[in-house]
């Protein structure tokens, strides 16, 4: 079974925010790697591709068995995507954050 993965507007904004943050951090660094931001977004997209086949393999969040989070490795930490399996065909990404952020926005 293949699931269709959709991004909420909030998740799309999270991707933009995460890209901008990574890019700015590299611009401010003396040895900045301007490809890091693009590689981070690609790592997130590659990780989320896992949800097309196995969303229930991710850990549950809260009481609903349909709300889960995916841990995405990148560098020394990574990202976490909060998502919901809304039916037998669709997964919606609700939010994405860096693992060192306090919580989802």
Identify the structural domains of the chain with CATH numbers, from first to last: 4-98 (3.30.2310.20)
Cβ-proximal residues to 31 (8 Å cutoff; 6+ apart), any chain: none
pLDDT of residue 46: 96
* Residues written for the chain: 105
pLDDT of residue 43: 96
pLDDT of residue 101: 77
pTM of the model: 0.89
- Number of Cα atoms under 13 Å in the Cβ half of residue 7: 15
Q: What is the mean pLDDT of each run of 10 residues along the chain (105 residues)?
A: 96 95 88 88 95 96 96 92 96 94 64
Do 96 and 82 meet the contact criterion of CB atoms below 8 Å apart? Answer: yes
């Amino acid at each position: 079974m293949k699931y269709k993965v959709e991004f909420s507007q909030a998740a799309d904004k999270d991707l933009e925010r995460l890209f901008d943050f990574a890019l700015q951090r590299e611009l401010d660094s003396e040895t900045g790697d301007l490809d890091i931001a693009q590689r981070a977004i690609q790592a997130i997209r590659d990780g989320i591709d896992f949800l097309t086949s196995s969303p229930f393999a991710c850990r549950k969040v809260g009481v609903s068995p349909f709300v889960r989070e995916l841990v995405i490795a990148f560098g020394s930490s990574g990202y976490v995507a909060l998502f919901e399996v809304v039916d037998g065909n669709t997964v919606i990404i609700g939010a994405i954050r860096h693992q060192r952020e306090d919580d989802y926005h």
